[in-house]
Structure formats: structure tokens, C-alpha cells
Chain A
Amino acid sequence: MAIAETRIYMPGAPRPRLRLLEDERWLAFVLLVPTLALLGMFIAYPFVRGILLSVTNARVGVPGEFVGLANFYKIFNDGIFRTSVYNTFVYTGVTTVFKLALGLWLAMLLNRNFRGKAFTRAFILLPFIIPTVLSTFAWKWMFDPTFSVLNWLLYHLGLITGRINWLGDPDLAMISIIIVNIWRGVPFFAISLLAGLQTISPELSEAAAIDGAKPLQRFWYITWPLLLPVTMVVVLFSVIQTFADFQIVYVMTGGGPANATHLFATYAYQIGIGTGILSEGAAISLAMFPVLFLVVIIQLLYIRRVEVR
């Protein structure tokens, strides 16, 4: 009784502040404010500022004037920019295929019962947890022409006779950063797909086995279609991340040798911050936007379709 009584307030003594919040529209607004502030400050503002910069000729210390689409015209005629566009697509495409294949394979292995399962699952995540810059520095040493442990290994296995200049050759440098990205990204695929696999009842596979499906058929007809929604989300998320990747290339090659490994992000950084031509850097960054926008649209449409089903 005592509890109930404290909740009744007297008719003569209204509580205006509380009453305002009892209106759902106001309450909704108040609850949204923190999110709006954060999104506005860290996403909307920089985005708009980037667009504004890209149509000026601003440099560090120079506010700049409106120049229309001149920056875009310039970068589309820039050979290095075109290389970095090509690189970004290759980098994203190749790494995603490998990350998906290896991640799926790992997820299927981890989905089995074995001793030390929990420990292994946690261990697998390590590449993903270590700060990228630190692990990439370690990789840089492994690819170092003089101190390379990879060269040492290949040499002692008798596979090579001279040193391989991993980061000094344009193609090998590209392959190197792709390897590092795959190494870093596989855990994310593996753990996400493992979570997806665990939602699939083992009874389905047993039913299919009794129905006469061989292991590969069980994967193809049962596991894969049921895992597809999770796979789609993971792949799209990874594509967005990889497309805008910066750290690995910046640390490993800095975009070299001879600008051969630049991606959108690293080239935008080099032009915008390195050389101080803010406007052109902004234009390069924005050139990524249409592709990412398309990916996001596909993702949203797909998620909605899955939800409707």
C-alpha cells in the first residue's frame, strides 16, 4: 500500500516538466537528441564540409574560392588517381573473395566439437583485436627486403635463391598488402559466419543426411542458403571497410613504390594533408562516395527483403 500511495500526486500540484515528457512526441525528440548531436558533429558536418572543400581551391592556410568541378576534372585526368581507383577495386575484390572463402572454411571447422573449442575461437580473433597499425608494422618487418622472415623461410625451404623485394616491386607490394588485409579480415568473417552457422539447427543436416545428401550437397542445398543472409551482411560490411581502407597501405608502403599501391584513402590523404591541397584531397575522398552509396543501398534493400520474408 505504501508504495502505491507515493505514486499518486495531488491534483493541485502538477509537475510541468514530467508532464511535457509524458507527451510521446517530446519524449521521442529528447531521446533522439544525443544521437542527432553525435551524428551531426562527426558525420554530417565533416561530410558537408568535405563537399564544400571539394568545389574550392583551398589549401592549408588558404581559404580558397569557388572553382566548380575543376578539382574533379583534374583528378579524373590524373594517372595516379586512376591507378588508385583500379587498385581499390582489385584490393577490395581479391581480399573479399579470400576473406569469405577462408572465413567460411574456418567457421565450419570451428563449428565442430573438439577439445579447446572455446579457447580456439577466442584465439582466432587475435588479428582482428590487435591495433591494425601495430600488426601492420610487424608485417612490414616480415616483408622487409633484408630482414624478411618470409625470405629466410623460403630460402631455407629451397624455394628461392635470391631475396624477394616484397615491398619494392609494384605487383609484389600489392600482393603483400592484400595478404595483410586478408590476414586481418578473416577473423571477422570467421566469427560472424560461425555465429550464423550456430543458428542453423544440426537436425537439418541430419535430416538431409538421411534424405541422401552427401556432405557437399548438404552444404550447398542446406547450409549455404541458410547462411546467405548473414554472409550478405558480412560481405557488404567488409566491402565498405576495405574500400575505404587506409592504415595497412599507409604503414606498409605509403602508397609506393612509385605510387603503385595507392588506394582512394591513402591518395586523398597524400594530396590533401601531405601536399596540403585540401580541396583536391576532398574531391578524391568524395569520388569514393558513389560506390559506397551503391553498396549501402544494396545492403539496405537486401536487409529489408530478409525482414519482410
Chain B
Amino acid sequence: MGQVVLKGINKFYDSVHAVKDVNLQIRDKEFVVFVGPSGCGKTTTLRMIAGLEAISSGAISIDGNVINELAPMDRDIAMVFQNYALYPHMSVYDNMAFGLKMRKFERSEIEKRVREAADILGIGELLKRKPRQLSGGQRQRVALGRAIVRHPRVFLFDEPLSNLDAKLRVQMRVELKKLHLRLGTTAIYVTHDQVEAMTLGDRVVVMKDGVVQQVGEPLELYNQPANKFVAGFIGSPAMNFAAVTVSEANGSLIAENAGLRIKLPEETAQRLRGHIGHEVTLGVRPEDLTVAGTADLDHPCFDGVIEVVEQLGSEILLDMKVGQGVMVASVEPSVRVKVRDKLRVAMRPSRLHVFDAKTEAAI
């Protein structure tokens, strides 16, 4: 079992309120990812779960037992650190065996578990080496191995892939996912990379300035972001935002600013009835913009001037000047356009997001 519950968790450093009233229920076998920009409190929260950081207020419990006052070693957790934190003077074998030795396991049992973990991770050949003789990816595996051998109730990962190069990171990401499917141990994973969060997490916790912004499954965050921050943080390239004023003309709602005037589709309009005459933030993802064709005549459209064309092979990113602002559109690779072209772009009506201009909450 490995059910982790955070109840009203706060962390103060002198006058800094680093983590604010975090409440979260992590189910057994679940893979939960904390994501957010640096300084958002995600690592601090993880370290409080690990017992490396004191909890200022609130309670953390694992399987129903409050662990606030327990030493890290008594919490039955294992942690993988960003810089691996392998013991440099010990062999790979000893690194992995250390936790078991400290817990006074039988020698044969230690050997069995280390071999088992080494086999799973494909590092059986490296057991006699010292950490400095390993590549970054191999060190990462040893760090994982050290966590696995203990058979803990919960794995804690603190940005474990951020020191790897891009290619290896993608590869290790997949392996981590497989490993989790295989072992089924509850995992709490911290990253600032939203792609890692989306691909690894059963559920993702988005944090900012010590406050949890939204907790949800990856697609839930992508499709129904709770506020402008989540909308902008999840998804790459980031969602386009435009500050617009809502007005009514001929029974339909119009959103406009200096360079943009669009007729809002019915479903969006319904949500904005109460905001007529007010300013709101319109959000649309680059992938929900298309080059306007004859089929899109009834879709909300706007005109822009292309400033940059980014060819990615599978898609083209167009950076366009629209009025005073900039919008990015991701279009089919077959589209033929060049810089300074004027282009009419259509929005998928069902994919429009609207946020309150002041609170930034989704409307």
C-alpha cells in the first residue's frame, strides 16, 4: 500500500511563505506529478513528504498514519535526487545495497534484491564500477536501482531527468513509465517540464507561488485549464492570449480589441452573457488555429501578418502580428506561406477559452 494524504500543508522560511495550504490525496499505485516554474514550492513539498524539510503546519500521512514527526528512514519511502546523489566512493553494487545494509538485511537477500533491480534496469554489467565511471544515463539508472531495492511504499522523484540530454531524457521517461507499470509503487514526481508531467502523470498537480492551481488528469488540464496560468503552462507552444472587451451586436456577442474583432460562437457566448461591457482574456491554443478556408466561413476568424515561420517538419509554427499582439498558429506542413504574408486564420469554435481579466480564473 502507498496512499499519501497531504492536509493543509504549509511551509514558512522565516517570513517567506513557500508552500500554502496544500491539500492532496494520492491514491495507492498512482503516479502523481508536481509541476510548476522554479520556486513554486513543488520540491519543498516533496522534501516535506520525504522528511528532509520540517512541516510548518498541516499533516502528511501515509496509509493513514501521520508521519510528520518520523525521521526520513522511518517513513518507508525512497527518493531519487536531481544530481543522483550516488555515493562516489562506493561501487554501484554498494550504492544499491547501502539502504538494505543499514536496515540489517541478510546478505543473501541484499544480493538477490540488487541483482533483481540491476536486471530490471539493465545495469547488471556495471555493478563493480564506481559512479564516476558511468555515463549520466547509467548513473540515473543506479539512482533508480537504489530506490527500487528497498521496495518502499512510495517513490519520490526530484527532477530526476533534468541533468540528462534531450534524447536520453525522452528515453528514460518511457522507461520510468514502464517501471511504474511493472512495480506499481505509488510515485510522486517533481518536474518543471510540462511534457514530462503530461506524459508520466496519472494526475498532475500544477503549482505556482506555493499554491496548487489545479489537480487533474493530463488531458483535463489541457482541455479544461482552471485558470490562465495553467492554460499557459500546459501545452507547447503555449496558448495564445488576447485581452478583449465583450459587446453585443445583433443578438450575438462580439469580442474585440484594437486589432481583433471576432464573433463569439454560441457556446462561448453563453458563458459570457454576464460579462458584456467588461474586459476578459481570450485564449486559444496554436493547434486550434487553422488557415481559414471556405469550410470555416462560420468560424471566428481574424487577420494577421506573418513575422516568423518556424518549420518543424511535422508542423509549421507561424508567429503572427495580430493588431498590437502576437499569436502563434500551428498549421499543416503543406501550407505555403512566407514572412510578411497576410493571412486569415480561423479558430476552432469549441476550443476557445475565456478567463476573467482580474482573477484569471476560467469562465
Contact string, A201-237, partner B, CB cutoff 8 A, digits 1/0? 1011011111111100100011001100000000000
CA–CA, A249 and B88, complex, Å = 43
Interface residues of A (CB under 8 A from B): 201, 203-204, 206-214, 217, 221-222, 225-226
Query: Which residues of the partner chain B approach A206 to less than 8 Å between Cβ atoms?
Result: 50, 52, 72, 79, 81, 85
Q: Top 3 closest A-B pairs, CB basis?
A: A211-B99, A212-B102, A203-B85
Query: Which residues of the partner chain A approach B81 to less than 8 Å between Cβ atoms?
Result: 203, 206-207
Measured CB to CB, the closest approach of chain B to A136, in angstroms, equals: 40
A207 and B85 form a contact (CB under 8 A):
yes
The answer to whether residues A213 and B87 also contact, given A206-B52, A207-B79 and a CB cut-off of 8 A, is no
Number of A-B contacts (CB under 8 A): 57
Query: Which residues of the partner chain A approach B146 to less than 8 Å between Cβ atoms?
Result: 207, 211
The reply to whether the CB of B66 lies closer than 8 angstroms to some CB of chain A is: no
> 12 A-B contacts, Cβ less than 8 Å apart?
A203-B83, A204-B85, A208-B102, A209-B73, A210-B50, A210-B51, A210-B52, A211-B99, A211-B102, A212-B73, A212-B99, A213-B102
Q: Find A212's partner among B50, B52, B89, B103 (CB 8 Å cutoff).
A: B103
Q: Which residue of A has the minimal Cβ distance to B80?
A: A207
Q: Which residue of B has the minimal Cβ distance to A200?
A: B88
Contact string, B37-55, partner A, CB cutoff 8 A, digits 1/0? 0000000000000111000
Query: Which residues of the partner chain B approach A203 to less than 8 Å between Cβ atoms?
Result: 81, 83, 85
The answer to whether residues A213 and B73 also contact, given A206-B52, A221-B98, A225-B89 and a CB cut-off of 8 A, is yes
Contact string, B104-146, partner A, CB cutoff 8 A, digits 1/0? 0000000000000000000000000000000000000000001
New contact pairs (15) apart from A206-B50, A211-B99, A221-B87, CB-CB < 8 Å:
A201-B83, A206-B72, A206-B79, A207-B81, A208-B98, A209-B71, A209-B73, A210-B51, A210-B72, A210-B73, A210-B99, A211-B98, A211-B102, A213-B73, A222-B87
CA–CA, A209 and B156, complex, Å = 14
Query: Which residues of the partner chain A approach B85 to less than 8 Å between Cβ atoms?
Result: 201, 203-204, 206-207
Measured CB to CB, the closest approach of chain A to B70, in angstroms, equals: 12
A210 and B102 form a contact (CB under 8 A):
no
CA–CA, A226 and B89, complex, Å = 7
CA–CA, A225 and B130, complex, Å = 14
The reply to whether the CB of B35 lies closer than 8 angstroms to some CB of chain A is: no
B73 and A204 form a contact (CB under 8 A):
no
CA–CA, A209 and B85, complex, Å = 12
Measured CB to CB, the closest approach of chain A to B272, in angstroms, equals: 50
B50 and A217 form a contact (CB under 8 A):
no
Q: Which residue of A has the minimal Cβ distance to B47?
A: A206
Query: Which residues of the partner chain B approach A204 to less than 8 Å between Cβ atoms?
Result: 85, 87-88
CA–CA, A211 and B110, complex, Å = 14
Query: Which residues of the partner chain B approach A212 to less than 8 Å between Cβ atoms?
Result: 73, 99, 102-103
What secondary structure prevails in chain A residues at the interface with B?
A: helix
CA–CA, A207 and B84, complex, Å = 9
CA–CA, A212 and B152, complex, Å = 12
Q: Which residue of A has the minimal Cβ distance to B152?
A: A210
A209 and B98 form a contact (CB under 8 A):
no
A210 and B79 form a contact (CB under 8 A):
yes
Q: Which residue of B has the minimal Cβ distance to A229?
A: B89
CA–CA, A203 and B146, complex, Å = 14
CA–CA, A203 and B141, complex, Å = 17
A211 and B52 form a contact (CB under 8 A):
no
Measured CB to CB, the closest approach of chain A to B90, in angstroms, equals: 8
CA–CA, A289 and B79, complex, Å = 53
The reply to whether the CB of B78 lies closer than 8 angstroms to some CB of chain A is: yes
> For residues 230 through 248 of chain B, which have their beta carbon under 8 Å from a beta carbon of chain A?
none
The reply to whether the CB of B190 lies closer than 8 angstroms to some CB of chain A is: no
The reply to whether the CB of B198 lies closer than 8 angstroms to some CB of chain A is: no
Query: Which residues of the partner chain B approach A201 to less than 8 Å between Cβ atoms?
Result: 83, 85
CA–CA, A209 and B71, complex, Å = 8
Query: Which residues of the partner chain A approach B98 to less than 8 Å between Cβ atoms?
Result: 208, 211, 213, 221
Measured CB to CB, the closest approach of chain B to A30, in angstroms, equals: 38
Query: Which residues of the partner chain A approach B89 to less than 8 Å between Cβ atoms?
Result: 225-226
Please indicate which of the listed interface residues A208, A209, A210 has the most CB atoms of chain B within 10 Å of its own CB: A210
CA–CA, A221 and B77, complex, Å = 21
Q: Find A211's partner among B51, B73, B88 (CB 8 Å cutoff).
A: B73
Query: Which residues of the partner chain B approach A208 to less than 8 Å between Cβ atoms?
Result: 87, 98, 102
Q: Which residue of A has the minimal Cβ distance to B52?
A: A206
Contact string, B56-99, partner A, CB cutoff 8 A, digits 1/0? 00000000000000011100011101010101110000000011
Query: Which residues of the partner chain B approach A221 to less than 8 Å between Cβ atoms?
Result: 87, 98
B88 and A210 form a contact (CB under 8 A):
no
Query: Which residues of the partner chain B approach A217 to less than 8 Å between Cβ atoms?
Result: 102
Q: Find B78's partner among A210, A222, A225 (CB 8 Å cutoff).
A: A210
B52 and A209 form a contact (CB under 8 A):
yes
Please indicate which of the listed interface residues B50, B77, B85, B146 has the most CB atoms of chain A within 10 Å of its own CB: B85
Measured CB to CB, the closest approach of chain A to B45, in angstroms, equals: 16
Query: Which residues of the partner chain A approach B50 to less than 8 Å between Cβ atoms?
Result: 206, 210
CA–CA, A217 and B103, complex, Å = 12
Q: Which residue of B has the minimal Cβ distance to A217?
A: B102
A226 and B88 form a contact (CB under 8 A):
yes
CA–CA, A268 and B243, complex, Å = 90
CA–CA, A217 and B85, complex, Å = 17
CA–CA, A10 and B329, complex, Å = 60
CA–CA, A206 and B158, complex, Å = 13
CA–CA, A209 and B99, complex, Å = 9
Measured CB to CB, the closest approach of chain B to A114, in angstroms, equals: 14
CA–CA, A208 and B50, complex, Å = 12
CA–CA, A208 and B146, complex, Å = 11
Q: Which residue of B has the minimal Cβ distance to A207?
A: B85
